[in-house]
Homo-oligomer: A and B are copies of this chain.
Amino acid sequence: MKNYDNQNKVLLAVDCIIFGFDKKNLKILLIKRDFEPEKGKWSLMGGFLKNDENLDTAATRVLNHLTGLDDIYMEQLRSYSALDRDPVERTVSVSYYALINIEGHDTLNENFSAKWFNIDEKPDLIFDHNLMVKNAMSRLRYRASTKPIGFELLPEKFTMKQLQTLYEAILGENLDKRNFINKINGLDILIKTDEKDMNSSRKGSFFYTFDAEKYQLKVSDGFAFKL
């Protein structure tokens, strides 16, 4: 047998839910369609799987094409295969989410009309993209409580307040400042620098950095991140 004859092939796409954080709000990157159908509506950035790449590669390519960024945290979510999900042609799509530290990396490919939206001000999207975003949010919430992926969204140096604000945005609830700090400090994976952010207050607040090496060491000693 040389190949699987007479089986239906299908168009396979990837769609990226791109999350970012600007020190205050959790954001999502969307593009405005400038072609039919649904011209003028907002959508996720996507692309078709090519014969010479796997899905992770395709998702990375699509993200890179829009943002120019490499080495971004991405994770496959799930497949969407409703028969009529794309009115143009039957297409199955696999969603991925990406976490971007917006700081400095806000230069987007001009060929797309892309825009960052606050997650709670997201416009209505085409096809089943609203559902994809909803599912991505729920995965993000889960992941953020079991892996320190939150740090992917922050600049190298961040304040406790920024970290807490980010987690509040992800979890969608307010957290008690003292309990939050106690818990984070208990994890023992942050380094307190001697620099201060003087923008937010007169007193200034210390910058921290995430200690990836220490984190990895702890993980290999059986430590499991749990926020």
Contacts and interface: CB of A to CB of B under 8 A. Distances in A.
A8 interface: yes
Interface stretch (A84-92, A106-114, A163-171): A84-92
Contact of A92 (B4, B12, B36, B50): B12
A76 B93 CA distance: 14
Per assembly, the copies of the chain total: 2
Interface residues of A, number: 34
A188 to B, nearest CB: 26
Contacts of A37: 1
A53 B82 CA distance: 8
Contact of A79 (B48, B52, B55): B55
B36 A54 contact: no
B11 A4 contact: yes
A55 B11 CA distance: 14
Nearest to A85: B54
Contacts of A153: none
Contact of A49 (B8, B49, B51, B88): B8
A10 B78 contact: no
B90 A4 contact: no
A49 B81 contact: yes
A68 to B, nearest CB: 24
Interface string A52-96: 111110000000000000000000101101110000111110100
A3 B52 CA distance: 22
Contacts of A56: 81
Contacts of A50: 8
A178 interface: no
Interface string A102-124: 00000000000000000000000
Interface of A: 1-4, 7-12, 35-37, 48-56, 76, 78-79, 81-83, 88-92, 94
